[in-house]
Amino acid sequence: MRRTLIFLSIGLLVVGLMAAPGLAQPNFAKVKEYRIERSVPPEAQACIECHRETTPGIFADWAKSRHANANITCLDCHLIQPGDQDIAQGHEKYYGRSDMPWGEAKYKMPIASIVTPKDCSRCHPDEATQYSKSKHANTIEIIWKLDPWLNKGMNSDNERKVGCLNCHGTEVKIDENGKIDPNTWPNAGVGRLNLDGSKGSCTSCHTRHRFSVGEARKPEACDQCHLGPDHPQIEIYEESKHGTIYHAYQDEYNFDAAGGTWTAGVDYRAPTCAACHMSGSGKEPTSHDVTQRLSWETQAPLTVRPQDFKPFPSGSDWKAERQKMKNICSSCHGDSWINDFYDGFDKAVTEYNEVYFKPAKAKLDELYEKGLLDKTKFFDERLEVEYYELWHHEGRRARMGAMMMAPDYAWWHGFYECKLRFANYMEEANHLIETGQKAYIAKDFPNATGDTTRPEKIFGKTQ
């Protein structure tokens, strides 16, 4: 009996000792400290003190950012002027609550949830200006001038919200309650139409609330949108030598070099997407205009020079832009490498245009002309889908694969698929022409309910 008691008390003691540190230190996540040690307006301090409790993720993210480093607080980006239409009304009601230490009315500031490139331009005017000229910022205009899904209303508004417009950007609207219309938000699309008239969103690539330059230099910043069957740039990059070297050596890359100092061969061994398309290198300055340095529009149905791209002419000279890209290449490559590479790319473009696209387009026009295909809708007849996928899917894969040196995408996912598609398409088309038989129209084409009115902000009022 005594031995049992002794064992029991020793056991209890051991368990107690083991549990003691646990009692003294509850298993709470450590909240990142923030001591006000530099001049911050009391209102901004109130934002921070409250939001590190209510949205600790956002706070911790910001606390690690260059913005926090430079004393740029919530208020610098989110503050708006009274009377602006996008005031966060829900936020206003927190002020005056007695149970919130920082909810006092004296800290009340009008705040907007959405921060736009125009807001960013207060401190980064040149970057915002470059971006505003890019195909990124103007992508809504481009897709509305080209795309049959939108213009013919072939998908639903929500399919657009969760699909297309997630990357391309919504037209942000305020609903009748004065709140942001949930059909248009949340969104960080590159071409978002903002309430202040500016276009796009800097946080597409420099995500909230870190706003990191290093992040945008990584291919992972681009791959949220540039992937998939219709424009697999990230897959192409990963297959290319550039991508394989990136994966093998990325732990040696210095992504956080100061703006203007990121150097090929020093800070990175092989380029990322940004390194070629945006970052400065050698004599070429950095630009946030992704349209520059391009000499072909490889995403267009018929490949054209950027200045001849009707939906959004670049206003530049393709020869000058190609020279810019060659200057970038020459940070690592010799002239013969660069010129002979471009020779292959130009031939791929010409072959795509002449051998695949133009005959397919001519055949489509002939079918419409003869009344064998119906023009009222698109995608509701099989040949329309085939034609669309020829340029929009494998046609792009072939051209982009050739451009960014991914052999599998240039051939198997590209020209090989083009060949099969083209042969089947022509067989069916010629069959219709020979027999005079009209193509089957899918009367039950699903969910073709989307709005076909073009955004007023770009195209003006349409009747």
Partner 1 sequence: MKKWMIAAVLVGVGIVIAFPLFSMSYYTMVRTSTPEFCASCHEIKPAVVAWRSSTHTNNAAGVVVDCMDCHLPAPQDTFAFFFAKSYHGLKDVAVHFFVGEYDQEKAREAAYAAFDNDQCQKCHRNLLHMPNQRGAMLAHRSVVYARPGYEKKCVDCHYDLVHSERGLVMFRQTRQIPYQAKGLKQL
Q: Which residues bind partner 1 (CB under 8 A)?
A: 38-39, 41, 43, 70-72, 75-76, 79, 81-82, 109-110, 117-126, 128-129, 132, 196-199, 285
Whole-angstrom CA distances from 49 to 42, 78, 88, 453 are 10, 16, 19, 44
**Residue type for 64, please?**
K
196 vs 428, which CB is nearer to partner 1? 196
Asked if the bond preceding 186 is cis, omega within 30° of 0, the reply is yes
Provide the β-strand partners of residue 346.
none
Q: How far is the CB of 125 from partner 1 (least distance, A)?
A: 5
What are the φ/ψ torsions at residue 14 (nearest 5 degrees)?
Answer: -60, -45
Q: How far is the CB of 197 from partner 1 (least distance, A)?
A: 7
Helix intervals (H) in 252-299: 273-277
What is the distance between the alpha carbons of residues 158 and 173, in angstroms, rounded to a whole number? 15
Nearest to 458 by CA among 85, 139, 179: 139
Give the nearest distance from C-beta 37 to partner 1 in angstroms.
13
Q: Is 147 in contact with 86 (CB distance < 8 Å)?
A: no
Q: Please, which residue, 114 or 120, has the CB nearer to partner 1?
A: 120
Shortest distance in whole angstroms from residue 213 CB to partner 1: 13
CB of 67 to partner 1, least distance (A): 9
Q: 14 vs 70, which CB is nearer to partner 1?
A: 70
Residue nearer to partner 1 on the CB measure, 160 or 288: 288
Using the minimum distance from each CB to partner 1, give the nearer residue, 117 or 306: 117
Spatial CA neighbour of 350 closest among 302, 408, 314: 302
153-177: b (≥16 Cβ within 10 Å) or e: bbbbeebbbeebbbbbbbbbeeeee
Three-state secondary structure along 375-439? CCCCCCCHHHHHHHHHHHHHHHHHHHHHHCCCHHHHHHHHHHHHHHHHHHHHHHHHHHHHHCCCC
Q: Which is nearer to partner 1, 91 or 118 (CB)?
A: 118
Min dist CB 111 to partner 1, Å, is 11
Cβ distance to partner 1 smaller for residue 72 or 439? 72
- Cβ of residue 72: shortest distance to partner 1, in angstroms? 6
Shortest separation between residue 275's beta carbon and partner 1, angstroms: 21
Nearer to partner 1 by C-beta: 124 or 145?
Answer: 124
